[in-house]
Amino acid sequence: MTKKINLVDTTLRDGSHAIKHSFTKEQAASIARGLDRCGVPLIELSHGDGLGGSSFTYGFSKANEFELLKAAGEQIKNSKLTVLLLPGIGTIEDLKRAYEHGARAVRVATHVTEGDVSEQHIKASKDMGMMAVGFLMMVHMASPERIAVEARKMESYGADYINLADSAGYLLPDGVRDRINAVRGAVRIPVGFHAHNNLGMAAANSLAAVKAGATYIDATLRGLGAGAGNTQMEVIAGVLQRSGYDTGVDFYGLMDHAQEAAEPLMLRPQVIDNGSLMLGYAGVYSSFLLHVYDAAEKYDLEPRDIMVELGRRKMVGGQEDMIIDVAYQLTRSR
Amino acid sequence: MDKIKVAVIGPGNIGSDLMYKIFRSKYLEMGMMAGIIESEGIKRASSHGIAVSTEGVQAVARQKDIKIAFDATSAAAHLKVNGPALKAAGIVSVDLTPAAVGPYCVPCVNLDSLKDEPNINMVTCGGQATIPIVYAIERAAGAAYAEIVACISSMSAGPGTRANMDEFTETTSKALEVVGGADKGKAIIILNPAEPPPMMTNTIMVRVKNPAVGIEKITASINAIVNEIQAYVPGYHVRVPPILEGDKVTAIVQVEGQGDFLPAYSGNLDIINAAAIAAAEKIAERMLRGRGAS
């Protein structure tokens, strides 16, 4: 029997970083419609930093995310409309509004060692009848054993599956395999994986995750996402098909959809430029990339130097505000 | 000199740190440490010769000479039990939970107007660190929108904070408006587990109404308030001085704790406690003056 793998599209969430949170209602509707037709089971949409992310710190959204959810939701027949929520940024009030606008699943994301801050939000989403995913970010920063402990906490709050995110695109396949194995050994619920392509490993790491037993894989059309982007949806669909897994998606349909709906709105080709490479190399949160470029220009610094310092300081997801601090301190020390 | 007797309810990290700050106070005297179970905090207070009880607020309410009580328990406990019991006993509540029964108090901004209130709320640690800066920017150039990011070390975020992330963001956002004076407030909190634990760092970003005022006046207003905060939080300082870009002002401040009970990186706990002490001292001063007159 071929194993079923659930592809989770996050073009309308992680992809939001790459286009500076400028999705329009029409774009959200068109992307969601195509994904639904191609049989993608989960479609994630929100500000790149999750519900409530629209801000000075992370960038203001061009369109209200609840209106985007409504526009996307109206086009979806079979997929589950999903949102991301980072406790400390988004709130249960935001989640309730997202539900009213069509969201039926939520991924509650915390730094890899801070799983307990998700308790309030996972429990609230289960009370609302939503699917809830425990989403651990920056998994390269913790040992497999520690990740297993945090995953167990999220399972105890009611999570339906655990997603491990290599938010910095730092891991190599062995590191992915060890982490998936550790979590699978610790929880009874399914496990998923979210990659970034900063070291060119996104598809390979996603395949390694699947081989270690992950059954949910995040991807985006054309790889649109923070840093060098995510696992490319149409690529992983082909790779998994060739490897003998059943994703239930329309491979050709996704290729066409990527070309027609995602490619035209990209601000730049989703290649591994030097900044993205440094994110993966130094272990820095991928969505810092464009903010680092802005700060480097403003302070006349090398983006690389800012990245290395951010990595040295062990900044976690959501600390975009510290890019200015690092740039300022580097300027003073030169 | 006469002192006002106070009690601390909730002998955890916050309560124990408060006790050491009270030992240093010119106006406050530690009258009782109250909890609901035998704990390290109760033993610690007892070892310093302080009266202790595991009967919680009821024991405090029976002490006729206690005039002010710090509530370092939880929002639910303050709302349902401690707040009403203290009110009935005529004891002033300095509430360190997010219950917000009484008005928000940020000492360097609005303490003078609150010194006669029977119950004051200390907002949140992030609020104490950032609202003064928003207020300083607002009084210089107006504030259409204020956003803050508070980063605290994972080590200094106890189970209460972790189970109540929404209370933090919602209470702080509201106080940025009510006390800071911004038309709209938004608060973000981040926990960072790096070792050694990082100091509490706060970024403040404000969309000002009158950027033409210029950065010099805004900076002068911020520097003045920083001096006032340093009077009760010596470890408070500006990391990145204000930057004006278009109509956006950005500044970053850091809070190093005094290390009374909690380590220096717990600037978040130090600042809310130091603010609570500053508020209680003001109230105590008024009470002592009242005594002198009678």
Distance in Å, alpha carbon of A116 to nearest chain B alpha carbon: 7
With pLDDT > 70 as the criterion, what percentage of chain B qualifies? 99
User: Which residue of chain B comes nearest to A92, CA vs CA?
Assistant: B166
Task: Residue A136: list chain B partners with CB under 8 A.
Answer: none
Mean pLDDT of B255-265: 93
Q: Is the pLDDT of residue B291 over 80?
A: no
User: Which residue of chain A comes nearest to B155, CA vs CA?
Assistant: A114
Residue B292, pLDDT score: 66
Identify whether the C-beta of residue A184 lies closer than 8 Å to the C-beta of residue A167.
no
A328 touches chain B (CB under 8 A): yes
Supply A319's token pair: 């600390």
Contact A325 B248 (CB under 8 A): no
Cα dihedral sign for B156, B157, B159, B161? Answer: positive
Residue B99, pLDDT score: 83
Contact B193 A322 (CB under 8 A): no
Quote the CA–CA distance of B218 and B244 in Å, as a whole number.
9
Residue B159, pLDDT score: 82
Contact A325 B165 (CB under 8 A): no
Q: What is the pLDDT of residues A21-72, one digit of tens each?
A: 999 999 999 999 999 999 999 999 999 999 999 999 999 999 999 999 999 9
Residue A249, pLDDT score: 98
Identify whether the C-beta of residue B128 lies closer than 8 Å to the C-beta of residue B120.
no
A114 touches chain B (CB under 8 A): yes
What is the ipTM score, two decimals? Answer: 0.95
Residue B100, pLDDT score: 86
Residue A1, pLDDT score: 54
Question: If you write DSSP's letter for every residue of B90-126 in order, what string do you get?
Answer: TPEEEE-STT--S-B--HHHHHHHHTT-SEEE---HH
Domains of chain A in sequence order: 6-265 (3.20.20.70), 274-333 (1.10.8.60)
Residue B294, pLDDT score: 46
Quote the CA–CA distance of B140 and B209 in Å, as a whole number.
10
Contact B166 A92 (CB under 8 A): yes
User: Using N-to-C axis directions, what is the helix angle for B267-293 and B13-24, rounded to 10°?
Assistant: 50
Quote the CA–CA distance of B237 and A314 in Å, as a whole number.
22
A17 is catalytic: yes
Quote the CA–CA distance of A52 and B186 in Å, as a whole number.
9
Mean pLDDT of chain B: 95
pLDDT bin (cut points 50, 70, 90) of residue B1 is low
Q: For every residue of chain A, which 3-state class applies, written as one string?
A: CCCECEEEEEEECHHHHHCCCCCCHHHHHHHHHHHHHCCCCEEEECCCCCCCCCECCCECCCCCHHHHHHHHHCCCCCCEEEEEECECCECHHHHHHHHHCCCCEEEEEEECCCHHHHHHHHHHHHHCCCEEEEEEECHHHCCHHHHHHHHHHHHHHCCCEEEEECCCCCCCHHHHHHHHHHHHHHCCCCEEEECECCCCCHHHHHHHHHHCCCCEEEEEHHHCCCCCCECEHHHHHHHHHHCCCECCCCHHHHHHHHHHHHHHHCCCCCCCCHHHHHHHHHCCCHHHHHHHHHHHHHHCCCHHHHHHHHHHCCCCCCCCCHHHHHHHHHHHHC
Task: Residue A321: list chain B partners with CB under 8 A.
Answer: 149, 151, 203, 205, 252
Quote the CA–CA distance of A195 and A164 in Å, as a whole number.
9
Residues within 8 A of B (CB atoms), A 118-157 only:
119-121
Identity of the residue in A57, A314, A322 whose CB atom sits nearest the CB atom of B188: A57
A319 touches chain B (CB under 8 A): yes
* Mutate which: B166, B249, B265, vs A, most A CBs within 10 A: B166
Q: What is the pLDDT of residues B166-193, one digit of tens each?
A: 999 999 999 999 999 999 999 999 999 9
Q: What is the pLDDT of residues B74-89, one digit of tens each?
A: 888 999 999 999 999 9
Q: How many CB pairs under 8 A join A and B?
A: 92
Identity of the residue in A91, A113, A325 whose CB atom sits nearest the CB atom of B252: A325
β-sheet bridge partners, residue A137: A111
Domains of chain B in sequence order: 4-122+272-293 (3.40.50.720), 125-263 (3.30.360.10)
A330 touches chain B (CB under 8 A): no
Contact B162 A116 (CB under 8 A): yes
Peptide bond into B132 cis (omega under 30): no
Contact B192 A91 (CB under 8 A): no
Contact B154 A56 (CB under 8 A): no
> Which residues in B have their CB inside 8 Å of a CB on A?
147, 149, 151, 154, 159, 162-166, 168-170, 186, 188-194, 198, 201, 203, 205, 207, 239-240, 243, 248, 250, 252
Per-residue confidence of chain A (334 residues) as pLDDT tens digits?
A: 578 999 999 999 999 999 999 999 999 999 999 999 999 999 999 999 999 999 999 999 999 999 999 999 999 999 999 999 999 999 999 999 999 999 999 999 999 999 999 999 999 999 999 999 999 999 999 999 999 999 999 999 999 999 999 999 999 999 999 999 999 999 999 999 999 999 999 999 999 999 999 999 999 999 999 999 999 999 999 999 999 999 999 999 999 999 999 999 999 889 999 999 999 999 999 999 999 999 999 999 999 999 999 999 999 999 999 999 999 999 998 7
User: Which residue of chain A comes nearest to B240, CA vs CA?
Assistant: A325
